[in-house]
Structure 1
């Protein structure tokens, strides 16, 4: 996101925070519904992101489109369209992120949305047919949503199901694994945690994970969760990604760099 979009997102997050206890799962669901409606029309998306259109006019349009939504949902949407965004795509991304944050605030005490998203990501990565079914650009969004409901219904929290159903319906050009990990990062951040995605050739044992978790938490100054990704292609070593920061100590990368040096 550009600087204008980051500022706009910050304003929307502040509105969400100020709403406090009035935010519930329905708020998040309605924000995602609104994002899909807006994203489904290039004209509507461009109009709501156009800084030349005054906020009052945009609000009237929102009221016509989403008048049945809760006051909390509409307050967040008004904040979103009332800010300047670097692009109309950023506006959609902003609605999605604030929706995920709203959903994260409703997580049941006995559930972890991040862990459920990571588990589904792992399942998708190991099942090519499933990845194609929910990730194909040619697939029907409603059919993808129905499949997610069948796979996760009764097995994951309703919060996780809502997030994944949205992602498969409006991927906006992103791969399903990227979508799931990005959503998990947002949910974790809302809980004041970071997520470290650790890629290795084999699964790390519990002691190794604990040491790594403590070391990374100390380095980044925040509590942190580990998401393990198994990829035999890395050969050995670890690749750690926390947000946009990547620490790559895999054998595959070292060999690739060595080959480049020898070729030079």
Structure 2
């Protein structure tokens, strides 16, 4: 990510905080805009042309989206178009990120945990993951498939985000798309994600205690992505960004074997 994109993301993210009336419908429109921009190099190029004035880029947004999208959606797209981006791809990704962040604001439920559930369900079904990640097949059909699978199992926000991100794979696996979405949701809500692997499920008390311990250690709220993995044998393994806390029996046994072999 270039420095221009880094600064542009700060500006677009700040625009969400200053906006009012953000709904899941606005998030849905931003997802539609991201797909339209990805499918039209001419449009995305016009909105990232640094030689064009801000007024000219705003006018393009209004002309293309003004008659079909809510004013809040158009305003956020104009903020994004007014920034300087390191690449056209960064701009398109940023519009999708705007959509995810708006969903995080509009959805008052436990969006992160619901997306974790989607992630684990897809990871546990190789055929489904292969179908969603294949280059073949209509993108909208993949989105509709995810939406149907989640009907009654997840809230509107999780269904919207999950069905939208699988429609723009960008050479990434479905799990990577969902992991990115979860990180963005956590960021918008002022949290970081901790992926925790344990041999057996944690009870409510253990989850609360671990969340409190990690929050105090990192100085910010933490969202737990809990994965039951019998391979850890006992204890737990925690990954937060580049940090890894490995307190599993499996790792201790591995260390012991290496020492004995040495």
Return the TM-score normalized by structure 2: 0.86
What displacement does 1:49 show?
A: 2.1
Mapped partners of 1:61, 1:234: distance in 2: 54
Bigger shift: residues 180-189 or 216-225: 180-189
Q: Runs ≥4 in structure 1, deviation > 3 angstroms?
A: 200-211, 230-239, 243-261
State the partner residue of 1:36.
35
State the partner residue of 1:62.
61
Q: Call closer, same or farther: CA 1:204–1:44 in 2, change over 3 Å.
A: same
Q: Deviations over 1:1-60 (max 9, x none)?
A: 33221211111122221112x222221111111001001123333332232232222222
What displacement does 1:84 show?
A: 0.8
Matches within 5 A, 1:1-264: 1-20=1-20, 22-67=21-66, 68-108=68-108, 111-232=109-230, 238-248=236-246
What displacement does 1:226 show?
A: 1.1
Mapped partners of 1:97, 1:81: distance in 2: 14
Question: What is the RMSD computed on CA atoms of the aligned residues?
Answer: 2.8
Q: Call closer, same or farther: CA 1:249–1:52 in 2, change over 3 Å.
A: farther
Mapped partners of 1:86, 1:249: distance in 2: 41
Mapped partners of 2:170, 2:157: distance in 1: 21
Bigger shift: residues 159-168 or 224-233: 224-233
Mapped partners of 1:253, 1:79: distance in 2: 48
What displacement does 1:82 show?
A: 0.8
Return the TM-score normalized by structure 1: 0.86
Bigger shift: residues 215-224 or 230-239: 230-239
Q: Kindly tell me the number of residue pairs found equivalent between the two proteins.
A: 261
Q: What secondary structure, in the 3-state scheme, does the structure 2 residue paired with 1:227 have? A: strand
Q: Call closer, same or farther: CA 1:245–1:140 in 2, change over 3 Å.
A: farther
What displacement does 1:246 show?
A: 4.1
In the alignment, is the contact (CA less than 8 A) between 1:107 and 1:113 conserved in 2? yes
Any stretches of 5+ residues in structure 1 without a counterpart? none
